Amino acid sequence: MTWKTFFDFSTMAHRHLVFVYVGVWALQGGYLAWTAWNWRKIRSPRS
Amino acid sequence: MARSPVLRSTAWLWLLATVGVLAVGFRQAIFVAPTEATMGNLQRIFYYHVPHAILGLVFPYINLVASLGFLYWRRRDPLKALTADALAVASAEVTVLYVGICLGSGMLWGKPAWGIWWAWDPRLTTALILWLIYVSYLLLRRFSPAGQIGVLAAVLAVFAAIDVPIVYMSIRWWRTQHPAPVFGGGPDSGIDPAMMPAFLWNLAGWAMWGIFLIAFRFALERRRQIAEQDAALQAIEASLETPQ
C-alpha cells in the first residue's frame, strides 16, 4: 500500500480504513490533550 | 519536589519512545504488511482494532487491583486509599477509551465486511456491556454524593471486572459472528508470519501509550486531590483564625 492508495476513498472499505486510523489518533490525542489541559488548569498547590 | 524533574524527563522520554514505536507500527501496518487474500486492505484495521481490544481487557485489572486496594486501605491508611482511588479512576477512563475504540473500529470493519454495523452476538454484546459498565462507573463517580464516591465506585469496579473473562471467552464458549480467536484458538488459528511485526509493533505502541495515559491521568488526579486537601486545610485554618 502507498500513501496514495491509503487515501483512496473510492470504496467503503478504503474509506473505513482511513476513518479507523484517523479516528484512533484523534480520540487518543484528544484524551491526551484534555488531560494536559486539566494538568495546566490545576496548578500544583505545593510547588 | 526534587524528584519532579526526573519524573518529567522520564515521562517525556517515554512519550517520545511511544510515538516512535507507534510510527513504526503505522508504517508496518499500512506499507509493509502484505495485503490479506480475502479481505484486502480492509484487514489492516486489525492492526489497530486487536491491540485496543487486548489492552481494553488488561486495563480493567489495574482498576480492579486499585479498587481492592482502596477498599483495604480506606480505614487503615486513608492516604494510601486516596492514591489507589486515583489509580482506579485513571485506569477506568483509559479502559473506556480503549474499549470504545475497539467497538468503533470493529463497527467500521463490520459494515464493509458483513454488510451491517452491528450484530447482537456474544462477543460484541459482552464488550458493549463492559464499556457501559465503565461509563456508568465514571458517571457514578461524577454524580455520587461526596464522601461515598470511592466506596461505591470500588464495589462497582469489582463487578465490572467479572465481565472481562466473559468477553475474552465469549468467542470460545459460543458460536459468534465475530471472527474466531486469532491467537490461542487452536491449530487453525494465527496470522501469516509476515503480518506479525505489524501486529506486535502496534500492540507494543498502544500498550506504551496506554501506560503513559494512565500514569499522566493518575498524576493529574493526585494533583487534584492534593489541591482539594489544601483548600480544605486552608478553610479550617481560616475558620480557626476568625475572632469569636
What one-character-per-residue DSSP string does A18-32 give?
Answer: HHHHHHHHHHHHHHH
Q: Is B36 helix (H, G, I), strand (E, B) or coil?
A: strand
Lowest mean pLDDT among B66-80, B117-131, B227-241: B227-241
DSSP state of B181: P
> What tens digit of pLDDT does each residue of A1-29 get?
888 888 888 999 999 999 999 999 999 99
Q: Which residue of A has its CA nearest to B108?
A: A16
Minimum distance, in Å, between the CA of residue A30 and any CA atom of chain B: 11
B23 touches chain A (CB under 8 A): no
Averaged pLDDT score across all residues of chain B: 90
B36 beta partners = B40
B230 touches chain A (CB under 8 A): yes
| Joined grid coordinates for residue B137 | 462507573
Q: How confident is the model at residue A47 (pLDDT cuts 50, 70, 90)?
A: low
Mean pLDDT computed over B44-61: 96
Cβ contact B30–A1 (<8 Å): yes
Q: By the 8 A CB rule, do A36 and B65 touch?
A: no
Minimum distance, in Å, between the CA of residue A40 and any CA atom of chain B: 9
Q: Is B144 helix (H, G, I), strand (E, B) or coil?
A: coil
Cβ contact B105–A20 (<8 Å): yes
Cβ contact B108–A38 (<8 Å): no
Name the residue ranges covered by the structural domains of chain B. Answer: 45-182
B186: left (phi over 0), alpha (psi -120 to 50) or beta: left
* C-alpha of B140 from chain center: 18
| Residue B179 or B238, more confident | B238
Nearest to A17 among B42, B101, B224 (CB): B42
**By C-alpha distance, which of B161, B116, B11 is closest to A35?**
B11
This model of the complex carries an ipTM of 0.92
Nearest to A21 among B48, B52, B230 (CB): B48
| Residue B174 or A17, more confident | A17
B38 touches chain A (CB under 8 A): no
User: Between residues 73 and 112 of chain B, which touch chain A (CB distance below 8 Å)?
Assistant: 93-94, 97, 100-101, 104-105, 108-109, 111-112
Q: How confident is the model at residue B1 (pLDDT cuts 50, 70, 90)?
A: very low
Nearest to B41 among A14, A32, A42 (CB): A14
| Residue B76 or B182, more confident | B76
Supply the pTM of this predicted model: 0.91
Cβ contact A17–B48 (<8 Å): no
Who contacts B136 (Cβ-Cβ below 8 Å, separation ≥6)? B156
